[in-house]
Every structure is written in C-alpha cells, then in structure tokens.
Amino acid sequence: MKYTRITDLLNIEYPIIQGGMAWISDAKLAAAVSEAGGLGIISGVGSTEDVRSEIQKAKSLTNKPFGVNIMLMGKNVDEIAKLVCEEKVAVVTTGAGSPSRYMNEWKKNNIKVIPVVPSVAIAKRMEKFGADAIIVEGMEAGGHIGQLTTMSLVPQVVDAVEIPVIAAGGIGDGRGIAASLMLGACGVQMGTRFLVADECKVHENYKNKVINARDIDTEITGVSTSHPVRVLRNKLTREYLRLEKSNADTSEIEALGKGALKKAVIDGDVDNGSVMAGQIAGLIKEKQSCKEIITELINELEEAIRRV
C-alpha cells in the first residue's frame, strides 16, 4: 500500500513530498520529513551560499534522500543549478519556468528532476525534456497557483504522460492521499500541512493562524497582475483586493506585496504579511512533529483504502 513508482524512484518509504516553500523550507524541516520516511525539500530561494549551507546542514541531519526546489526565474538560478550538482543533491523540483537548459547537467549528476506543472500541455513538455516525474498542482494550493483544480487536472495529466505523477494542492490528510492515488497519481506533495510542524521555522503567529483557519478563510490575490497567490485573509489581502478592484496601477499592487511573505514568516506579522496557505488549512487542528504528521497521514491513508 505504501509502495508506488515514486517511492521506488526516490528511494523513500512513503509517497509524501514536502513542498519547497520560500523562506520556510529549510534544512531542519526537510531533514525531519526525510527521516520520517517522506522526501524533504529545501527552498532554493536565497543567496547561493545560504542554500549551500542549508544543503550541508541537511546532510548532517539525515543520510536519507532530500531535494532542493529551484525557482527558475530567480536572479541566481544558474548558480543554484550548478550548486545542486556540486553538492550531489538527490532530487530537484522546479517552478516558475522551464528547466530544459539545466536538464542534461542535472541528469549527468544523477539528479532526479521533478517540475511543478499547472496544465496538461506543460506536463507533456516536461516529459519531452526528460523529467523523471511531475508534480501536478491544482489551484487549491497555497502560494502561487494556476487555474485548474487538482481533482480535474490530475487524471487528465495521468492520461497524457507516461512518467509518474505527483498530486499537489488541497491535500491535507490521508483521505486526500487516497483520493490522489485513485486519480492515478503515484504520490503527493504537501505544503500547508507541514507549516505547523514542530520543525518548521515559521513564526508561531503564522502557525496559529493556519490552525485557526476555517474552510472559507483563503483568498486569491494578484489576479490582475497575472500572478495569483492563495493566502489567508487579513489586512493585507483586503488592501490588495481593494487596489485590484479599483484598477490601480500594477506597480502599486506589486509594491504592496514586496517582502510580505518574509514579514509573516519571520516577523510574525500576520495582519500585514502574506500568510500563504492552501484551502485545506481548515483541516489542520494542531502542531505536531514531522514524524507524527507522516505517521498520522499513513494511518489515515490505510484506513481510507480499507473503507474503499
């Protein structure tokens, strides 16, 4: 029940990948997830030396596989792309662009490449470029999102490609994992659930806001700028939406969000900061260790499959 093409491909115990969340996913979180049997992911956002430091720290905390998420529009993406080869990282997940120009070098260094995709067309393109698997992310996810839901997108991508598909967006418990497997996915990526992990460095105010969230408490901002982001409602989102509805200049809208994620994650300002979280935030009721989270997820998955 735990074995899938993804567990085999990535040499992990359970088909659970932790999302590479900017300003959040560091070595401590990634190593804890990997130690618990999933695949931890370090965010590749930051200076090259900072990312190198996190990779080396993760190596000191676990001897199990972990990965790095690379945002392909980053200013130092070429350096980060080279860094993961130098550090012999097991897995790279990518977003915000095409990894095609780095694919050959990563493959030469035995790195498994797993792009995040929002559509069938891009999934097919990534398979053509040589991706080992793909993460199909629906709009239920927190942070930057596409236009299609996980439930509608995953089976269409599964039918369109031969490589393993990992479902993401709107998955918060074992029932969500079971549903993803039923749709044809071989595993899941989860971000919001790990926000409240003991090993996650986000400010306690951020964690508490996620735990106290209701089903209707997320909002999508940035639609007018073509960069939609799902976050929890607060003073910032109200101002953001006010500007968007008044057809304010794009530069004014984007300026409002500059540095807002760091403000929430590091400073704990959950009124004026960007509290990125998915629609499943309402399912999350307590803080737990990564080990406790993954054990609970697998128990719920097994129970869900038994019921079916």
Residues 142 and 265 in one domain: no
Q: Is residue 178 part of a domain?
A: yes
Could you tell me which residues are beta bridge partners of residue 218? Answer: 232
Q: Is residue 204 part of a domain?
A: no
Residue 208 lies in a domain: no
Query: Which pLDDT does position 277 carry in this prediction?
Result: 94
Asked if residue 303 and residue 161 are part of one domain, the reply reads yes
Evaluate whether residue 209 is within a structural domain.
no
| Residues 190, 46 within the same domain | yes
Distance CA 104, CA 73 (A): 19
Range of the domain at 234: 214-276
- Per-residue pLDDT 10s for the chain (308 aa) are 457 899 999 999 999 999 999 889 999 999 999 999 999 999 988 889 999 999 999 999 999 999 999 988 878 889 999 999 999 999 999 988 888 889 999 999 999 999 999 999 999 999 999 999 999 999 999 888 888 999 999 999 999 999 999 999 999 999 999 999 999 999 999 999 999 999 999 999 999 999 999 999 999 988 877 788 899 999 999 988 888 888 878 788 778 778 888 899 999 999 999 999 999 999 999 999 999 999 999 999 999 999 88
* pLDDT for residue 171: 96
Confidence (pLDDT) at 24:
92
Q: State the pLDDT at residue 2.
A: 59
Strands, E assignment, the chain: 16-18, 40-43, 66-71, 91-95, 112-117, 134-137, 143-144, 165-168, 187-190, 218-221, 229-232
Tell me, what's the pLDDT at 81? 93
Determine the Cα–Cα distance for residues 230 and 77; give it in Å rounded to an integer.
24
Q: How far apart are CA 244 and CA 222, in angstroms?
A: 8
The most distant pair of C-alpha atoms in the chain lies apart, rounded to whole Å, by 54
In the prediction, which pLDDT does 31 show?
Answer: 97
Please report where in the chains the tokens 């012999």 appear, as a residue: 88
Cα dist from 179 to 125, 150, 185, 255, 305, whole Å: 26, 10, 9, 39, 9
Q: Is residue 282 part of a domain?
A: no
Domain count, the chain: 2
Cβ–Cβ < 8 Å for 158, 184: yes
Question: Based on the domain organization, do 272 and 292 belong to the same domain?
Answer: no
In a domain, 205, yes or no: no
Tokens of 59: 């190596």
Q: What pLDDT, on a 0 to 100 scale, did the predictor assign at position 197?
A: 97
Are residues 222 and 123 both part of a single domain? no
Q: Are residues 131 and 245 in the same domain?
A: no
* Residue 43 shares a structural domain with residue 175: yes
3-class SS of residue 21: coil
Residues 10 and 110 in one domain: yes
Question: Are both 116 and 259 inside the same structural domain?
Answer: no
- What pLDDT does residue 28 have? 96
Within this chain, do residues 252 and 110 fall inside the same structural domain, yes or no? no
Flag whether the pTM goes above 0.85. yes
Q: What is the pLDDT of residue 231?
A: 94
Together in a domain, 151 and 222: no
Look at the block and give the residue holding tokens 């200076």: 47
Token digits of residue 147: 């236009």
Indicate whether 206 belongs to any domain: no
Residue 29 near residue 62, CB atoms below 8 Å: no
CATH of the domain at 106: 3.20.20.70
The CA-atom distances, in angstroms, between 127 and each of 8, 41, 119, 121, 286 are 18, 21, 13, 10, 38
Beta-carbon contacts of 307 under 8 Å, excluding residues fewer than 6 positions away, are none
For the sheet with 218-221, list strands across it. 143-144, 229-232, 218-221
Hey, what are 95's tokens? 């977003």
Instruction: Kindly state whether residues 233 and 291 are assigned to the same domain.
Output: no
